[in-house]
Amino acid sequence: MVSLAYIFPGQGAQYVGMGKDLYQNSPAARGVFEKADQILGFNLTDLCFNGPLDKLSQTINAQPAVLAVNIAGLQALQLQNQTLKPKLVAGLSLGEYSALVAAKSLSIEDSLVLVRKRAQLMSEASLKNPGKMAAIIGLSEQKVEEICRLSGSQIANLNSPGQIVVSGTNLEIENVVKLAGEKGAKRTVILKIEGPYHCHLMDQAAEGLGQELAKVEIAKPRVPIVANVTGACEDSPQEIKSNLKEQLTCKTLWEKSIHLMISQGITNFVEIGPGKVLKGLLRRIDQDLKVYNVEKTEDLDKLLN
């Protein structure tokens, strides 16, 4: 397979039972879950496999859980086929930490500690500055920017054509829903997420994460990583740290990131982790792209055959 990129989902992809098949059938994947339980000091594996969903979906748990499943899938894939090499890697929001692990820029151990702390900081900031996120379907970026100006909210994610997520206080998002309807949005969906991520309400969390990142070694990636906040390839460890901090308060440029990958000759994408959220986004960006999923061991056989 040529012109291949690995992409990793973020928070919101979680579901009860995720990763169980990998755990049962891949020693490499099982090792990731065991390591996560040991490092985090609680039974993350049981939470992934058995829930309950409301506890699994709490930010403090969802972020390390999705990370663990992403990395378990990556390890299972690498063990089964050591010749398969991506040309680029990227991850949506939280998924960027998995991409850094795939690029040998961040260790599995450090990624688990960092992401758990990131989730804690984001949860604390959400309690201090309550808010929501909403996906606006069917409006241009220009119209959504106008809605943000009128409501005081911020664009949080530019995911794909016609799907833009905004973030803000509860009142701001209520106004967003009203304004989006008035401006002709097909629909507006309030996301099932605890707080107003990727906006200025996460300033405190970003400062805390910056302090945590200062303690961690990030190496120059062996595979170029496309950063969320720039939509460009980054290989400077210091720039990567800066981007990870900035990611909490700035919009993620997922559509731009995918277009950059396409411009680099990427035609095949492997989504590694729970669900098929990214596959759906890529179809909206370019229907000609081929997207493979690695979520269970049977997916490995399909991919490699």
Strand partners, 291: 269
Q: Are 200 and 233 in contact (CB under 8 A)?
A: no
Q: Are 220 and 105 in contact (CB under 8 A)?
A: yes
153 catalytic? Reply is no
Strands 154-160 and 131-137, sheet pairing: unpaired
Catalytic residue among 93, 98, 123, 126: 93
d(CA 181, CA 237): 43
200 catalytic? Reply is no
Catalytic residue among 57, 105, 153, 198: 198
- Count other Cβ atoms within 10 Å, centred on residue 101: 25
Helix (H, G, I), strand (E, B) or coil at 136: strand
- Give the per-residue SS3 of 73-115: HHHHHHHHCCCCCCCEEEECCCHHHHHHHHCCCCCHHHHHHHH
Alpha helices in the chain (DSSP H): 20-25, 27-40, 44-50, 53-56, 59-80, 95-102, 108-128, 141-151, 170-182, 203-213, 237-247, 254-263, 277-285, 297-304
Residues with a known catalytic role: 93, 198
